[in-house]
Amino acid sequence: MNTLRLVAFDLDDTLAPSKGQIDDRIADLLRSLLQRVEVAIISGGNEDQFRSQVIARLDDLDAAAHQRLHLLPTCGTRYLRHDGTAYTAVYAHDLSEAEKTSALTALREEAERLGLWEATPWGEILEDRGSQITFSALGQQAPRDAKHTWDPAGTKRAALRDAVAPRLPGLEVRSGGSTSIDITRAGIDKAYGMQKLAELTGIALTDMLFYGDRLDKGGNDYPVLALGVRSIAVDGWEHTADELDALLQTLPVPAAR
């Protein structure tokens, strides 16, 4: 591997339990990592989730560490950096109202037709994330066990994606997490986010390392692997923590200030 300059992560089921805050152990590891390299988080989650799951747990970072943290919600359709006071948007590729309406309508109608619309979900099934529309089959707050048993082979998500995509020719429709479908502008996925990150930071993709729980072909982390970024598959935040313990042993300790 070339000189490691940036470590990137998926969020849900990689750094944190789905929709949950990062654990104390992950928070401490990220603080240590930020003393050594740049850190990026790229996920299908919306900006509010990033703020509640991550930023709220790292509010004690010093100014330099804040500057080394890159946040890319909704699969890189948004990019947040710290401006010295707060995390603000560098860019945001928001969908138009017409695009949102078309996406929401297509998702509901096709899910109902395929028998994939749950009568009693855990929270909202459809969410407008500004730059992304997300379908969560069991609801936004579904427990992890229920989500992981709903579609282990990915056939339900594939059927819904294949039904919705022809109705939205100008948009990108793809499987997201274990129960979700994400819709963004065409050509925008995690590979797009990582390429923008390389462009805006000047850090080569070959100098990056990525951790994700959906690196399988068809998974929403796979575009990062296909892009050529060295990637490590993990199964839950505890696995990521173990991997980071090992990685930190290989990185130079910062000089005392």
Annotated binding site for Mg(2+): 10, 12, 213
- The residue whose two tokens read 């229920």 is 146
Binding region for alpha-D-mannose 1-phosphate: 129, 180, 182
Helix ranges, the chain (H): 24-34, 47-53, 63-67, 97-113, 144-150, 155-164, 190-201, 222-227, 237-248
Nearest C-alpha neighbor of 72 from the set 46, 41, 95: 41
Instruction: Give the up-direction half-sphere exposure of residue 138: CA atoms within 13 A in the CB hemisphere.
Output: 16
Look at strands 78-82 and 133-136 and give their pairing: unpaired
Burial class from Cβ neighbours inside 10 Å (0-12, 13-18, 19+) for residue 74 reads: buried
- The residue whose two tokens read 């928070």 is 27
Whether the Cβ atoms of residue 119 and residue 237 lie closer than 8 Å to each other: no
**Is 145 an active-site residue?**
no
Choosing from 12, 13, 151, 189, which is the catalytic residue? 12
**Is 12 an active-site residue?**
yes
Whether the Cβ atoms of residue 119 and residue 125 lie closer than 8 Å to each other: no
Binding region: 10, 12, 129, 180, 182, 213
Other beta carbons less than 10 A from residue 185's beta carbon:
17
Burial class from Cβ neighbours inside 10 Å (0-12, 13-18, 19+) for residue 60 reads: exposed
- The residue whose two tokens read 């020719």 is 169
R_g (Cα) of the chain, nearest Å: 18
- Please list the active-site residues: 10, 12
